[in-house]
Amino acid sequence: MKTLWKFIVGAVLVAAPFASAQAGEVLDRIMKNKELVLSSDAEYPPQSFLNENNEMDGFDVDVAKEIAKRFGAKLKIVTPAWEVITAGNWGSRWDVSVGSMTPTKARAKVLRFPAVYYYTPASFAVHKDSSAADVASLSGKKIGVCGGCTYEAYMKQNLVIDAVGTPAFTYQIAAGELRSYETDVNAFDDLRIGDGKRLDAVLSALPTINEAIKNGYPMKLVGQPVFFEPLSVAIDKGDTELGDKIAEIVSAMRADGTLAKLSNKWYGVDYTSAN
């Protein structure tokens, strides 16, 4: 699978900081314009990616489409960098992130997390020629992770996930060298070159690893998942009404089976609970 290019979909992003949303402002604009603007990632299959028709697709995109539908709005997608999304202070450049984001204490200082919509296992992948038999055998090795994400925090042993219902976890290994990448796919690209040539392993979401293997990456899983991430819709600080509405919509999607249906469509398994 070739690495996907980054595209700006539907809007040009401005990098300058903006003030946080005022109470009710974003929700009022969405309802007035009948448009929900989503920040997404074109290089994170099967959660979000550009399909063969050059259209955004994936589990997260489908969840966002359904949320927009229940708002009575159309979905518009932009693709800022992950670090820009997690920095908060969106300034109305987009309204919501349905981007498999883990609600951590650090992120909660600048963002609000109104609804966890699924849980994903975090697993290690190695080159298919690797002799690694378990997670412990990766200690002291060169490990690749996406920069600024929970996998990097886990490897630095400072990951804090305080969402209700999150299974407890322990730090099982220490990297000899930790290498950070812009995306998980970039790390996979280095791993595919050969066992131990640039990387010995990558820590990523299990569905993302499985999708890469499905698309021809010469990788395999090692051991069991090391932690489970609750993944939440995120909005900018300040608009309580928007958060309450999203929480109501996602709760209804869970109750009527929509979330489970979408999870099974993309992953072949229901990841909408930590069980």
Helix H, strand E, coil C: the string for the chain is CCCCCCCCCCCCCCCCCCCCCCCCHHHHHHHHHCEEEEECCCEECCCEEECCCCCEECHHHHHHHHHHHHHCCEEEEECCCHHHHHCCCCCCCCCEEEEEECCECCHHHCEEEEEEEEEEEEEEEEECCCCCCCHHHHCCCEEEEECCCHHHHHHCCCCCECCCCCCCCCCCCCCCEEEEECCHHHHHHHHCCCCCCCCCEEEEEHHHHHHHHHCCCCEEEEEEEEEEEEEEEEEECCCHHHHHHHHHHHHHHHHCCHHHHHHHHHHCCCCCCCC
pLDDT value at residue 8: 30
The model's pLDDT over 130-189, given as tens digits with 9 standing for 90+, comes to: 999 999 999 999 999 999 889 999 999 999 887 777 888 999 999 999 999 999 999 999
pLDDT value at residue 275: 65
Average pLDDT in the chain: 89
pTM higher than 0.75 for the full model? no
